[in-house]
Amino acid sequence: MTARVLVVDDILSNVKLLEAKLSAEYFEVVTAFNGEDALRRMDEHEPDIILLDVMMPGMDGFEVCRRIRANPRTAHIPVVMVTALDQPADRVAGLDAGADDFLTKPVDDSALFARVRSLVRLKMMMDEMRMRETTGQSIGLIDPAGALIDMQQGGRILVVEDRPESVAWLEQSLVPDNELAAVDAFEEAIVRVRGGDYDLIIVSLGLRSFDGLRLCSQLRSLPEVRNVPILVVVSDGDRRKLTQALEMGVNDYLSRPVDRNELVARVRTQLRKKRYADRLRQNVQLSLEMAITDQLTGLHNRRYMSRHLDTLIANAQKSGKPLAFLIMDIDHFKSINDCHGHDIGDEVLRQFAARISANVRGIDLACRYGGEEFVVVMPDTDVTFATTVAERLRKHVEIEPFKITSAPGTLYP
């Protein structure tokens, strides 16, 4: 996997060292030597990830990170702070500023590269959803998902840990802001995640009864958990397990002994990212639905019917079963618009569509063809049955008035 990395540090030798190491791993490297320069370079080069020093003259790394997160165009770009600062309070300050990780120099190369690849892989998935969302916005189907940094709610967390004292400490740290459940067995964890709508899974890699890495691998293969972030707890210095975890798709990690404030900050970051990604997925799904749905009536639109008509006809020919078409419009609809206005005309169309939906089967395809014209395609239906449905619908329209929001309050089309 290759990516464009922006390296930001005010010390030339540090920049050159990172540039050489990353280039040897086939990353494309862009460099900057202060905060203002970094923000300009981001606009020019659109990096996939940023390696950011903290202690720089003028604008420090914390402020640079805050500005990156405050800009909707750059808020999704992962930021890793690489610095000589090594206190838990420094890590928490970096995470609170919006950093995805906080690595202390000297950084182990394998851990750095694994973290960079992991964050870039997650960003590429996010980029695909952002691109689809942008397409939906450009044709007026959906509103943007909002800013990643704005979402601060708690979430439902599953903890996989077989040390009761560790579970109790996690509960004290994360509840009541979050809802916590804990399991200590491999199979129980699988059952829970398949049946529960969790926002985050915390897995200890120091489990005594089974391999936590194997559980992470299994979780990543489950469709129900594919989009749920996983945070692992690893013993300090266990680079092998950490590297393996990141390479298999784990989102974040904590090193023992775990600092309470860092735990809270990393959990909050992962929950914020998940909610943003969920919003993106919902918007993409909404844009797909709206592309095939008539926005006024909620029925399928003419485009959708046209795309599926050939398939329905081919299936009917292949099976030898009849295929019926019910085509209808509303008599005197123009006079409704002329006398009461188009808003009232829209109310009539929505109610007419609702009556169609109430009188056809789930396998039938009900569409708004255009204006006041509607079509119902009825698979495995002969003329006699289709005529019965059409007459039932006609009587429903004839007998029951349409309720409108202006005088006289009801209409008979």
Q: How confident is the model at residue 34 (pLDDT cuts 50, 70, 90)?
A: very high
Same domain for 155 and 78: no
Rounded to two decimals, what is the model's pTM? Answer: 0.71
CATH of the domain at 382: 3.30.70.270
pLDDT of residue 362: 84
Q: How confident is the model at residue 281 (pLDDT cuts 50, 70, 90)?
A: confident
Assess if residue 207 is contained within a domain: yes
pLDDT tens digits, one per residue of 128-172:
777 766 655 554 555 555 555 555 678 999 999 999 999 999 999
Same domain for 145 and 271: yes
pLDDT of residue 285: 75
Dihedrals phi, psi of 404, to nearest 5 degrees = -130, 160
Same domain for 175 and 59: no
Q: How confident is the model at residue 397 (pLDDT cuts 50, 70, 90)?
A: confident
pLDDT surpassing 60 at residue 272: yes
Same domain for 141 and 99: no
In 3D, which of 56, 53, 60, 148 has the Cα closest to residue 98?
148
pLDDT of residue 145: 55
pLDDT surpassing 80 at residue 11: yes
Q: Which one is predicted more confidently, 247 or 410?
A: 247
In sequence order, the 6+-apart residues with CB closer than 8 A to the CB of 318 are none
Same domain for 208 and 151: yes
Cα distance between residue 25 and residue 157, in whole Å: 36
Same domain for 364 and 221: no
Assess if residue 116 is contained within a domain: no
Assess if residue 37 is contained within a domain: yes
Candidates 161, 262, 347, 372; catalytic one: 372
Cα distance between residue 331 and residue 38, in whole Å: 66
Same domain for 388 and 241: no
Residues of the domain holding 148: 121-286
Assess if residue 113 is contained within a domain: no
Q: Which one is predicted more confidently, 407 or 211?
A: 211
Per-residue b or e along 293-310, where b marks 16 or more CB atoms closer than 10 Å to that residue's CB: bbeebebbbeebbeeebe
CATH of the domain at 207: 3.40.50.2300
Q: Has 373 been annotated as catalytic?
A: no
Same domain for 142 and 33: no
Question: What tokens appear for 40 in the block?
Answer: 């300009």
Give the DSSP H or E segment for 233.
strand 230-235
Same domain for 325 and 274: no
Structural domains counted in the chain: 3
Show which of 231, 256, 286 is a domain's final residue: 286
Cα distance between residue 313 and residue 305, in whole Å: 12
Cα distance between residue 343 and residue 158, in whole Å: 50
pLDDT tens digits, one per residue of 179-236:
999 999 999 999 999 987 899 999 999 999 999 999 999 999 998 898 999 999 999 8
Show which of 234, 258, 286 is a domain's final residue: 286
Assess if residue 141 is contained within a domain: yes
Question: What tokens appear for 284 in the block?
Answer: 């993409």
pLDDT of residue 144: 57
Same domain for 202 and 145: yes
Show which of 286, 313, 340 is a domain's final residue: 286
Question: What tokens appear for 191 in the block?
Answer: 């059952």
In 3D, which of 227, 226, 221, 224 has the Cα closest to residue 278?
227
Same domain for 22 and 89: yes
Same domain for 247 and 185: yes
pLDDT of residue 125: 80
For strands 323-329 and 28-32, give the pairing.
unpaired
Q: How confident is the model at residue 351 (pLDDT cuts 50, 70, 90)?
A: very high
Least confident range from 8-12, 265-269, 359-363, 379-383: namely 359-363
Cα distance between residue 247 and residue 116, in whole Å: 10
